[in-house]
């Protein structure tokens, strides 16, 4: 079913054409003149325009020319009983999809409308493919069955069936984009496009143009009209990566799209409506940012309708062997190299490492090992220089606690955590990384001990110059 704009000044022909199209399950909006039709085309989206060539005041060619000037990208079919080669050539140069002579049969006009809609969608899909081909990576799928990941995988299935906005949070490198793609793939929109915008990679002007599009001449360098990602993703999903980096003026415009499903291109006053499912990702605490007026609070609540928190790799160490097997298999197949093997000691080292860079760091390690150690047995000595952070941080901290007969495990755990917090001047994220646990896990433990009265958070010291530079 399509939404068809019919422009015909003859009442009998207009009514007959409207009835025919409705009988073919199309939604029809009919007009007897061009200006009224143009006003409607600026306020809503049509799948195809069917217009008479000879109209009072503004003929079909003039209407087509004005529609193109306004940036109204709708396939247009011209109808006339007075065909001429010159008129047909002019109409085609202006972008008319087809040109038909009256009288015509009902099935003939239905075929032309279907061709116009199919051609228009194909052009849109081609542009989507051109704009996103650099993001395509083969065999991208979720891997892992660790207890920390099971709630995430279950939530993906529930969230996917909704059209509500999703906010995916987690540290850098945990695989938030893969989670977003898994949600799209499991959703009813899976056959429609999914586009991605890295909000931190573009200047405010370019980001606004990338999201909402622009008209020719809207700003310096805008030499042609360009559709934005919201328009191209209509019917599908738009991923806003690092959404916390959107500047405040654009946050207001994004809020409007989420609330009203409408926007204007840069340099245009024409309101366009879209049906797009938005998924946003961030490694920031947006609730805290909203409380500190660094991010719009109303936008935060619009984005976090369905929150999904992805655990860091150190909280899902059981998945490391499976992740490595998947990554190495893909890399060696791509590079045409023999897969390396790992000694027991090397695997133990990887299991004990804190992985501050998460899955992205593991991917980087696998890439290096597959190139530098192809076909060899990988030892701890070969791996250690490739790791970004200190090895066995948590184990080293445990050794500083003297053994006392009769201590219970929780006391030792509390002392270890308190010493680590003191070492990092109360910085929770760095302390959690050194302990090899998640920031959320650390927060829950501190909250429990605070409620039990067994923990009072120490005041943070003012660092010396030497400490600040360390």
Angle between helices 60-69 and 34-43 (to 10 degrees): 30
pLDDT at 369: 92
Q: 296 and 160 in contact (C-beta within 8 Å)?
A: no
Domain boundaries, the chain: 3-129, 150-309, 313-391, 394-469
d(CA 239, CA 95) in angstroms, rounded, equals 32
Whether 3-129 shares its CATH topology with 313-391 is answered no
113-127: average pLDDT: 77
Answer with the residue of higher pLDDT: 54 or 236.
236
Residue 195 CA to residue 251 CA, distance in Å, equals: 19
How do residues 222-232 score in pLDDT, each as one tens digit?
A: 888 889 999 99
Residue 53 contacts residue 87 (beta carbons within 8 Å): yes
Coil/strand/helix, residue 295: coil
Which 8-state DSSP code applies to residue 352?
Answer: H
- Asked if the model's pLDDT at residue 292 lies above 70, the reply is yes
List the single range of 104-113, 123-132, 251-260 with lowest mean pLDDT: 123-132
Model confidence pTM above 0.75: no
CA distance 389 to 44: 55
Over range 387-404, report the average pLDDT. 48
Instruction: Name the CATH code of domain 394-469 (choices 1.20.1640, 1.10.3470, 1.10.490, 1.10.10).
Output: 1.10.10
Confidence of residue 6 (pLDDT cuts 50, 70, 90): very high
pLDDT at 401: 43
Average of pLDDT values for 454-466? Answer: 48
pLDDT-derived band of residue 116, with 50, 70 and 90 as boundaries? confident
Residues 329, 326: Cα–Cα separation, whole Å: 5
Chain Cα centroid distance, residue 243 = 9
CATH number of 313-391: 1.10.8.60
Which CATH number, 3.40.50.2300, 3.40.980.10, 3.90.420.10, 3.10.20.30, labels domain 3-129? 3.40.50.2300
Show the tokens assigned to 246. Answer: 């959107």
In the predicted model, what is the mean pLDDT of the chain? 82
Cβ neighbours of residue 319 closer than 8 Å, sequence gap 6 or more = 143, 144, 145, 146, 149, 313
Beta strands per DSSP E along 219-344: 237-241, 262-264, 271-273, 277-282, 306-309, 341-342
DSSP 187-223: STTTTS-EEEEETTSS-HHHHHHHHH-B-TTSSTT--
CATH superfamily of 150-309: P-loop containing nucleotide triphosphate hydrolases (3.40.50.300)
Confidence of residue 390 (pLDDT cuts 50, 70, 90): low
pLDDT of residue 467: 28
Binned at pLDDT 50, 70 and 90, residue 462 comes out as: very low
Query: Which pLDDT value is given to residue 454?
Result: 65
Residues 321-376 have pLDDT tens digits of 889 988 998 899 888 889 998 888 888 888 889 898 999 999 999 999 999 888 88
Residues contacting residue 123 through CB under 8 Å, at least 6 positions apart: none
Residues 149-197: tens digit of each pLDDT: 989 999 998 999 999 999 999 999 999 999 999 999 899 998 888 999 9
Mean pLDDT throughout 38-48? 85
C-alpha span between 284 and 306 (Å, rounded)? 16
């Amino acid at each position: 079913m399509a939404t068809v704009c019919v422009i015909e000044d003859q009442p009998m022909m207009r009514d007959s054409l409207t009835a025919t199209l409705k009988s073919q399950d199309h939604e029809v909006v009919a007009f007897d003149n061009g200006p009224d039709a143009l006003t409607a085309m600026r306020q809503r989206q049509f799948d195809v325009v069917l217009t008479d060539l000879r109209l009072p005041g503004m003929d079909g060619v003039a209407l087509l020319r004005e529609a193109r000037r306004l940036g109204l990208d709708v396939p247009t079919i011209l109808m006339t009983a007075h065909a001429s080669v010159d008129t047909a050539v002019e109409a085609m140069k202006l972008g008319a999809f087809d040109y038909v002579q009256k009288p015509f049969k009902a099935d003939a006009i239905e075929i032309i409308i279907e061709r116009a809609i199919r051609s228009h969608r194909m052009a849109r899909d081609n542009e989507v493919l051109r704009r996103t081909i650099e993001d395509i990576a083969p065999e991208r799928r979720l891997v892992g069955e660790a207890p920390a990941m099971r709630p995430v995988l279950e939530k993906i299935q529930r969230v996917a069936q909704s059209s509500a906005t999703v906010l995916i949070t987690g540290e850098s490198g945990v695989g938030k984009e893969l989670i977003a793609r898994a949600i799209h793939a499991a959703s009813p929109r899976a056959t429609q496009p999914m586009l991605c915008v890295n909000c931190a990679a573009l200047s405010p002007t370019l980001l606004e143009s990338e999201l909402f599009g622009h008209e020719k001449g809207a700003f310096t360098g805008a030499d042609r009209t360009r559709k934005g990602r919201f328009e191209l993703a209509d019917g599908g999903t738009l991923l806003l990566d690092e959404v916390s980096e959107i500047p405040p003026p654009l946050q207001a415009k994004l809020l409007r799209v989420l609330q009203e499903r409408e926007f204007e291109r840069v340099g245009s006053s024409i309101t366009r409506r879209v049906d797009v499912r938005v998924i946003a990702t961030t490694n920031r605490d947006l609730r805290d940012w909203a409380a500190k007026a660094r991010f719009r609070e109303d936008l935060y609540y619009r984005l976090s309708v369905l929150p999904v928190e992805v655990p860091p790799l150190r909280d899902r160490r059981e998945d490391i062997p499976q992740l490595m097997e998947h990554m190495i298999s893909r890399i060696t197949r791509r590079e045409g190299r023999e897969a390396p093997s790992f000694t027991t000691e090397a695997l133990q080292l990887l299991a004990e490492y804190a992985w501050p860079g998460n899955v992205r760091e593991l991917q980087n390690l696998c890439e290096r090992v597959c190139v530098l150690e192809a076909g060899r047995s990988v030892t701890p000595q070969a791996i250690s220089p490739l790791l970004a952070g200190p090895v066995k941080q948590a184990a080293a901290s445990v050794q500083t606690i003297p053994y006392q007969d009769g201590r219970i495990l929780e006391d030792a755990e509390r002392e270890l955590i308190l010493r680590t917090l003191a070492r990092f001047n109360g910085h929770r994220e760095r302390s959690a990384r050194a302990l090899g646990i998640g920031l959320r896990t650390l927060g829950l433990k501190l909250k429990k001990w605070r409620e039990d009265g067994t923990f009072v958070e120490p005041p943070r010291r003012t660092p010396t110059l030497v400490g600040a530079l360390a």
